[in-house]
Amino acid sequence: MNREVLAESETPKRGNLLPLLLALLCALLVLWPRPAAAAAAPLSPAAEDPPELPEETDRAAGDPAPQFSQPSGIYDAEELTVELTAPAGYTLAYTTDGSAPTPEDDCGDSHVSVRLEPRGEETLIEQRKRFLCPLDTPMLQDPELPRGRVLRAALLDPDGQLLAPETRVYFLGTDLAARYPGCMILSVCTDPENLLDPERGILATGAVYEAWAESEAGRESLSLKQWWLYESNATQRGRDWERPCRIQIYDGGSRPAAELDAGMRVTGGASRRMSQKSFNFYFREEYGRSLLPYELFPGVGRYKSFTLRSGGNNTEGLKFKDCFLQSLVTDRALTVPQSRPAVLFLNGEYWGPYMLREKVSPQMLQDLYRIDPGQVIVVKNGELEAGLPEDLESYRELAAFAREDFRDPEVYRRFCEIMDVESFADYCALRIYIGDGDWAWETNEILWRTRDGSFREGRWFFVLHDIGCSAGLYGDGTTAADTDHIARAIGNHPLFAAALASPDFRARFLRSLRELGEENLAPARVEEALRSWEEDWQPLLPDYYRRYAVPPADWAVGRDTTLDFFRRRGQTILPCYLLHLLERDWNDGDIPPAGKENP
């Protein structure tokens, strides 16, 4: 969602109905029991001095490789000399800018000493004009920022053939664990051309932008400065825009806790046009390993993929807002991916703080619920993410209920057979309560189920995904506390609108709405949890502002508008619901109490 396409405020029209609404609301709150609050999920702690793993674990046994006298790591020394040695009959080619060595980089010898210092050229930042940045938030160079020195070396055999390179990264004269306390550090290396090349660089404005700018749509968007519609290399999707990389993970120690090859892509919506972009990382057999064998989060030690999220709509404000809001509702009938703060270094260059997040996949769901990943079906925004093509038929059957008459109890009974109604009620109530301005049917929406019925008897269940465009963001009516988001949901989500005709679903939905407001999202609880998250993030912000020309006041604005939203939200959302209850022909009768059992 962008700043300029947000809708006008849609506030409830109360008029002379206000006394009646308030009386109904008071009676409702008095009669219903109040469940105990669930504690907010804390940020995942970083591991204490993780175990060391071999530097290169993906090379086939017996293959010759250059020898490095020093392993990758974090060093107190201000400078370091690394001795490179090749087996007999081979010579060495090496680079220090992150690029893969070529025969032209051959030093002509089997031994060479490479002297490294903390400072050096920032190959990527110095070419930042190649990045699309229509919001005019430039990336800055600052000598105070920590820097990793990348050393890549490859062997040339007697026939002049170049073998696969080895990569080491050295952080000199800095203590990253002290600088970013409790924070995971990710060092990602790839050939600069994978990022900067006009034809294939995934961060570049590139050839995609040049062609788009000449199109009719491009000329119109440029003239209107509709930056969220700009196309570039960075806005492209799919395997064609995945590039190989090497990942090192530091989790409190001075040596990488894990290191392996992977594929990387840019991810996100409008945030792809911002300076600090989000990334997905994928582990595949073609890169050496199909799983990352490291515990990024407690209790989960294998990953096929993960995400580094820059903040989405909140990239230049309260960066953790999306993950923070999700952490408040982990006790609801929803799948909530785990997250934790991380700092990214790209080819040794500081790239800023991120939220490291689980990426929804059958592997993630297996670890979370102990189910067979081969039985998992995942649908994102109406498209199959995991499963078999024929699995979409079940999703189409669910979507068809938007055209059914839920006043008929038999329709609701059949709906409950394929939809986890508790999850649906919690999901809709949450999106509505937080004032989500970027949610509709098949927009930022992920559902999943098991084919064999091993989880919730095979009913569709919701995953929380991208809820940051909410709670007062941008300060306009689309996400305002006094906006009638129930009306917006009825207009934008036909399945929710249809289900509201069932008195049993209304009871479930209203109970979820009330529990969220009184417990999960109660103002005092939100404020206490946000204060804790902010304390964890404060050490990460000085370097972020050194790299990106973002006003520090934007963070405070994001925090204050979020807190103000939840202080006022409870006064408006239930009257909105009661207004719809009175205005619509739902033949409701008495509102069922919270404890009533439903199908």
Q: Which pLDDT tens digit goes with each residue over 275-289?
A: 899 999 999 999 999
Is 145 domain-assigned? yes
Write down the mean pLDDT value for the chain. Answer: 86
Q: Comparing 461 with 61, which gets the higher pLDDT?
A: 461
Q: Comparing 182 with 583, which gets the higher pLDDT?
A: 182
Question: Which of 421-435, 474-488, 543-557 has the highest mean predicted lDDT (pLDDT)?
Answer: 421-435
Strand pairing category for 73-75 and 166-172: parallel
Flag whether pLDDT at 12 surpasses 50: no
| C-alpha to C-alpha distances, 494 to 400, 402, 442, 490, 592, nearest whole angstrom | 10, 5, 10, 7, 24
| Banded model confidence at residue 311, pLDDT cuts 50, 70, 90 | very high
Flag whether pLDDT at 174 surpasses 60: yes
For residue 36, the tally of other CB atoms under 10 A from its CB is: 6
One domain, residues 212 and 106: yes
Tell me what pLDDT residue 286 has.
Answer: 94
Q: 367-381, 413-427, 549-563, 574-588: which has the minimum mean pLDDT? A: 574-588
Which of 259, 294, 329 is at the close of a domain?
Answer: 294
Flag whether pLDDT at 62 surpasses 80: no
Is 315 domain-assigned? no
One domain, residues 27 and 71: no
One domain, residues 131 and 28: no
Beta-carbon contacts of residue 289 (< 8 Å; ≥ 6 apart): 58, 260, 261, 283
One domain, residues 126 and 255: yes
One domain, residues 138 and 198: yes
One domain, residues 187 and 97: yes
User: Measured between alpha carbons, how far is 220 from 222 in angstroms, rounded to an integer?
Assistant: 5
Q: 134-143, 160-169, 547-556: which has the minimum mean pLDDT? A: 134-143
Q: What percent of the chain clears pLDDT 70, i.e. is strictly above it? A: 85
Flag whether pLDDT at 581 surpasses 80: no
Is 9 domain-assigned? no
One domain, residues 278 and 416: no
Q: Work out the angle at residue 188's Cα, subtended by the Cα atoms of residues 185 and 191, and round it to the nearest 5 degrees.
A: 160
Average pLDDT rounded to a whole number, residues 70-77:
95
Is 351 domain-assigned? no
| Banded model confidence at residue 583, pLDDT cuts 50, 70, 90 | low
Tell me what pLDDT residue 123 has.
Answer: 82
User: Measured between alpha carbons, how far is 155 from 65 in angstroms, rounded to an integer?
Assistant: 7
Is 524 domain-assigned? yes
Give 29's Cβ-side CA count (13 Å radius).
Answer: 15
Residue position matching structure tokens 């079906």: 377
User: Measured between alpha carbons, how far is 256 from 252 in angstroms, rounded to an integer?
Assistant: 9
Is 2 domain-assigned? no
Beta-carbon contacts of residue 66 (< 8 Å; ≥ 6 apart): 84, 85, 86, 92, 94, 153, 154, 155, 166
| Banded model confidence at residue 425, pLDDT cuts 50, 70, 90 | very high
Average pLDDT rounded to a whole number, residues 530-554:
95
Flag whether pLDDT at 132 surpasses 80: no
One domain, residues 520 and 383: yes
Hey, which residues does 263 pair with through a beta bridge?
Answer: 244, 282
**Tens digits of per-residue pLDDT, 443-501?**
999 999 999 999 999 999 999 999 999 999 988 889 999 999 999 999 999 999 999 99
Which of 251, 275, 294 is at the close of a domain?
Answer: 294
| Burial classification of residue 447, based on how many CB atoms lie within 10 Å of its CB (0-12 exposed, 13-18 middle, 19 or more buried) | buried
Count of structural domains, the chain: 2
User: Measured between alpha carbons, how far is 229 from 221 in angstroms, rounded to an integer?
Assistant: 7
What's the one-letter identity of residue 339? Answer: S
Q: What are residue 450's phi and psi, to 5 degrees?
A: -110, 135
Beta-carbon contacts of residue 336 (< 8 Å; ≥ 6 apart): 41, 326, 327, 329, 330, 463, 464
User: Measured between alpha carbons, how far is 86 from 71 in angstroms, rounded to an integer?
Assistant: 16
Alpha carbon 424 to chain centroid distance? Answer: 22
Residue of 262, 205, 270, 204 lying closest to 469 (CA atoms): 270
Average pLDDT rounded to a whole number, residues 175-184:
95
Tell me what pLDDT residue 324 has.
Answer: 97
| Banded model confidence at residue 257, pLDDT cuts 50, 70, 90 | very high
Average pLDDT rounded to a whole number, residues 370-380:
96
One domain, residues 289 and 368: no
One domain, residues 375 and 239: no
For residue 476, the tally of other CB atoms under 10 A from its CB is: 15
Tokens of 553: 């006041």
Which of 239, 261, 294 is at the close of a domain?
Answer: 294
Is 595 domain-assigned? no
Average pLDDT rounded to a whole number, residues 251-260:
94
Rounded (to 5) percent helix, strand, coil in the chain: 35, 20, 45
The answer to whether the CB of 94 falls within 8 A of the CB of 114 is yes
Average pLDDT rounded to a whole number, residues 9-13:
36
Q: Comparing 536 with 5, which gets the higher pLDDT?
A: 536
Question: Which of 109-118, 567-576, 578-587 has the highest mean predicted lDDT (pLDDT)?
Answer: 109-118
Flag whether pLDDT at 533 surpasses 70: yes
One domain, residues 135 and 73: yes
User: Measured between alpha carbons, how far is 313 from 558 in angstroms, rounded to an integer?
Assistant: 11
Domain span including residue 424: 20-32+359-583
Residue position matching structure tokens 């515990």: 295
The answer to whether the CB of 167 falls within 8 A of the CB of 151 is yes
One domain, residues 277 and 407: no
Tell me what pLDDT residue 5 has.
Answer: 32
Residues 557-570 as b or e (16 or more Cβ within 10 Å = b):
ebbebbbebbeebb
**SS3 assignment, position 223:** helix
Is 383 domain-assigned? yes
Q: What percent of the chain clears pLDDT 90, i.e. is strictly above it? A: 71
